[in-house]
Amino acid sequence: MTEGTRVIIAAVPVALQAGEPFVLTDGQGGLPHTQFFGTEEAQIRETLEALIVTRRRVFSACAEQLPTRMEQTPDGRKTLDIPYLVTTQTGGDARGWSSCYDFLPWEDQRNHQGVALKNRLGEFLLTQVSPPTTSEEVGARKKICVLFALEGARWRPELASERCKALIEAGYLPGDGQMDMMTLAGSRFYKWLAQGLGHLRKPLKSLSMPVELMPERFTIPQFQASMEGVLGEPLDKQAFRRNVSNCGLIEEAGGVSDEIFGRPARLFRFKNDVAIARNAQSMSLVLPLSETLTETETIENLLFSHRKRTKNQDEAGEEN
């Protein structure tokens, strides 16, 4: 890695609560992250584990690297962002978790407010290229219509990152779901969160929900509610059940739910080969507990001890 380059490793921790996607913030209005310079090294797995401190043990957590981004300041200094989507569960403790749609409200197309905000944002961006007078402006207009489902284009949930990027490039993001705009250009929080949500949505059209997001056993209505929550759009009930029957990802777990209201529903679980495949395509994490986290386990000391251990190993190799 280039000497002097500032490297930022960020985690985008996403979990489901009652079918809604929640993100774990760092308590200061941002996402868990740390930074160092290119002359230093960091072990990604240990870094992510140290960044995401839980108060109760969760069943599993998996990390997937999102697209990296290199920025250069006018004075020539470079910053490399390396964000990771971390899918997990809240472990029964909701402290620090907030709905993803509190930050990206236009991404929730299940209600009138989200649909109206999405339309207003798209129309706002269209005013920047209307009327189009060049081929570039014609292309930009078509892109906005695709991103925000305008002029007959269908809604595409997986384009969350591209929508956020378009808003940031325009210099604005909406505040509190209203059209009074506040400038947030360059906000890494929104970029990382939109990247994570868009990445998570991509496989869901094939019903391939990350195993670690769902409980060990779940009902079909719970599965559909979770899919709708992550995608931010309603799904046809009959079509969903038909697709579930044909997808080959889940199997009956035996027993029925203990729901108080309504008729008890059969319980299902992901097949073992699905869980194995999921583990093979992601990085498994072991999250530390806040009650047992000591001063020696802070991210700064963790990175320092790794550098010291590497240096000692190099010196030992030279002696041999």
Q: Which amino acid is at 15?
A: A
Mean pLDDT of 144-158: 95
pLDDT for res 251: 92
pTM beyond cutoff 0.85: no
Residue 161 has pLDDT above 80, yes or no: yes
Q: For residue 303, is pLDDT > 70?
A: no
* Contact in structure between 99 and 105 (CB atoms under 8 Å): no
Per-residue pLDDT at 219 exceeds 60: yes
Tens digits of residue pLDDT in 1-10: 456 788 999 9
Residue 119 banded pLDDT, cuts 50, 70, 90: very high
The winner for highest mean pLDDT among 94-108, 218-232, 274-288 is 218-232
pLDDT score recorded for residue 279 = 84
Task: List pLDDT tens digits, range 167-217.
Answer: 988 877 654 433 333 333 347 889 999 999 999 998 887 778 889 999 889
Which residue is associated with the tokens 């029957």?
245
How many residues are given for the chain?
320
Interval 40-62 mean pLDDT: 80
pLDDT of residue 174: 57
28/140 Cα distance (integer angstroms): 35
Residue 59, pLDDT score = 66
Q: Could you tell me the pLDDT band of residue 110, with boundaries at 50, 70 and 90? A: very high
Closest CA to 12 of 71, 59, 62: 62
Distance CA 100, CA 258 (A): 29
Query: 12: buried, middle or exposed (CB in 10 Å: 19+, 13-18, 0-12)?
Result: buried
Q: What is the pLDDT, as a whole number, of residue 254?
A: 84
**d(C-alpha 273, C-alpha 240), whole Å:** 22
CA distance 171 to 157: 22
Across the chain, mean pLDDT equals 82
Asked if pLDDT for residue 235 goes beyond 90, the answer is: yes
User: Do strands 266-270 and 250-256 pair parallel, antiparallel, or not at all (unpaired)?
Assistant: antiparallel
Q: What pLDDT does residue 292 have?
A: 55
Q: How many CA atoms lie within 13 A of 35 on its CB side?
A: 10
Domain boundaries, the chain: 6-109+155-319
pLDDT (tens digit per residue) in 55-78: 666 667 899 999 998 988 777 888
